[in-house]
């Protein structure tokens, strides 16, 4: 599988990053372990998770995904085969949240225990914390890099100005810099990244690993006009795309996919892979077919006409 450099400072990663949010949530432990076996064998050896996954599910407290990945490492002995990315900062309950130095130091130890590893390849600020001093946050991250507990650091859900401030702060102090940004970016969520973050990404050569690359499943084509989303795990997320503009994007994906004997999901991911600044989209899978789509997307070359069609139809939902 194609490898891409994660910004000017980061490691090489596969062109698609496997989302681990489903482990212990929509995939049970046994199926999650089986999927990890197959995914890594297929070359999808970069896994993105977070300490908070899947605290939103009834009866869950967070850490479920990391725990399952840790069991996979312990039983398979393949830690060195995987580029592991996890995140810190979202509310874990009992006041455990944010990016203050003390909490980062505590949270990384909890993640390392759950993951049954002594290092994290990419440790990311899950969301900006304006209550925490950036210098305190970045000094804590830098200390983890110096200690060998973290190889690289990254950010998620930052606006452009705050991301640039963080990069400048690290450079001024000689600390580890954010090598990547994880934005919400796909064919039906374009404006925020393209207008605010992309200039910063280009200026500092930061890697971009978009989450919700398939818009919580909307861009796979599984939802059609009139689809019932009740009882669907992410039904509330996709419902906002149920309009003429959203379905026009799905129709265009169908057209492009048909020309390449591909799927709508493959076409949506291939569009992201062709966008300026993008290193590797993050996408989760709940079946072997989904995994096959992720792999196939990395070799799908869209024509200029395909890209133009998708750009034009999605312009209306980009604002």
pLDDT of 238 above 90: no
Q: How far apart are CA 299 and CA 251, in angstroms?
A: 22
* DSSP annotation string for 167-228: HHHHHHHTPPPEEEEE-B-BTTB-HHIIIIIHHHHHHHT-EE--BSTTGGGGGGT---TT--
User: Would the CA dihedral through 66, 52, 218, 300 be positive or negative?
Assistant: negative
- The stretch 242-261 carries a mean pLDDT of 95
CA 47 to chain centroid = 9
Query: For residue 225, what pLDDT band results from cuts at 50, 70 and 90?
Result: confident
Mean pLDDT of the chain: 95
- Summarised one tens digit per residue, pLDDT across range 11-29 is 999 999 999 999 999 999 9
Give the closest residue to 190 by CA, choosing from 318, 48, 290.
Answer: 318
Look-up: residue for tokens 């312009």? 315
- End-to-end alpha-carbon separation of the chain, Å? 34
CATH (residue range 3-182): 3.20.20.100
207 beta partners: 180
**Sequence-separated (6 or more) residues with CB below 8 Å from residue 96:** 103, 106, 107
List pLDDT tens digits, range 278-295. Answer: 999 999 999 999 999 999
User: Cα separation of 51 and 66, whole Å?
Assistant: 7
Q: List, in sequence order, every residue forming a beta bridge with 46; answer none if it has no partner.
A: 83
* Cα angle for residues 46, 71, 93 (degrees, 5° grid): 85
Strand partners, 27: 23
263: pLDDT confidence band, cut at 50, 70 and 90? very high
| Catalytic residue check, 53 | yes
Give ∠ CA 116-14-74 in degrees, rounded to 5: 15
Q: Sorting pLDDT into bands at 50, 70 and 90, what band is 276?
A: very high
Residue range 98-145, pLDDT digits in tens: 999 999 999 999 999 999 999 999 999 999 999 999 999 999 999 999
Model pLDDT, residue 239 = 83
pLDDT-derived band at 38 (thresholds 50, 70, 90) equals very high
Show the CA angle centred on residue 90, arms to residues 201 and 268, nearest 5°.
Answer: 50
pLDDT mean over 292-309: 97
- Domain parsing of the chain, residue ranges: 3-182
Catalytic annotation, pick one of 23, 53, 178, 223? 53
What region does 231 belong to: left with phi over 0, alpha with psi -120 to 50, or beta?
left
Closest by alpha carbon to 39, among 82, 75, 7, 97?
Answer: 82
How big is the chain by its Cα radius of gyration, in Å?
A: 19
Q: How high is the pLDDT of residue 226?
A: 64
Place 301 in a pLDDT band, splitting at 50, 70 and 90.
Answer: very high
Q: How far apart are CA 108 and CA 153, in angstroms?
A: 12
Local confidence band at 231 (pLDDT 50, 70, 90 cut-offs):
low
Looking at the chain, the whole-number percentage of residues with pLDDT higher than 70 is 95
pLDDT surpassing 70 at residue 35: yes
């Amino acid at each position: 599988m194609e490898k891409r450099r994660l910004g000017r400072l980061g490691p090489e990663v596969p062109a698609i990053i496997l989302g681990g949010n489903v482990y212990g949530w929509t995939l049970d432990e046994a199926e999650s372990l089986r999927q990890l076996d197959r995914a890594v064998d297929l070359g999808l050896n970069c896994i993105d998770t977070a300490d908070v996954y899947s605290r939103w599910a009834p009866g869950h407290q967070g850490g479920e995904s990391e725990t399952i990945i840790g069991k996979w490492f312990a039983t398979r002995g393949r830690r060195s085969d995987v580029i592991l990315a996890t995140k810190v900062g979202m509310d874990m309950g009992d006041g455990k949240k944010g990016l203050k130095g003390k909490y980062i130091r505590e949270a990384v130890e909890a993640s390392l225990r759950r993951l049954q590893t002594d290092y994290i390849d990419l440790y990311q600020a899950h969301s900006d914390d304006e209550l925490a001093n950036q210098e305190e946050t970045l000094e804590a991250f830098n200390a983890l890099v110096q200690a060998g507990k973290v190889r690289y650091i990254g950010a998620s859900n930052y606006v452009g100005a705050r991301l640039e401030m963080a990069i400048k702060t690290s450079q001024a102090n000689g600390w580890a810099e954010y090598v990547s940004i994880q934005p919400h970016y796909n064919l039906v969520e374009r404006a925020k990244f393209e207008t605010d973050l992309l200039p910063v990404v280009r200026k500092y050569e930061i890697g971009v690993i978009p989450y919700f690359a398939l818009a919580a499943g909307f861009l796979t084509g599984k939802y059609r006009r009139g689809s019932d989303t009740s009882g669907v795990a992410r039904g509330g997320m996709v419902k906002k795309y149920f309009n003429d503009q959203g379905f026009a994007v799905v129709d265009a994906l169908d057209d492009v996919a048909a020309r390449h004997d591909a799927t709508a999901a493959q076409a949506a991911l291939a569009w992201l892979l062709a966008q300026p600044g993008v290193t590797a989209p993050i996408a989760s899978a709940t079946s072997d077919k989904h995994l096959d789509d992720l792999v196939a997307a990395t070799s799908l070359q869209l024509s200029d006409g395909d890209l133009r069609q998708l750009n034009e139809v999605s312009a209306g939902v980009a604002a």
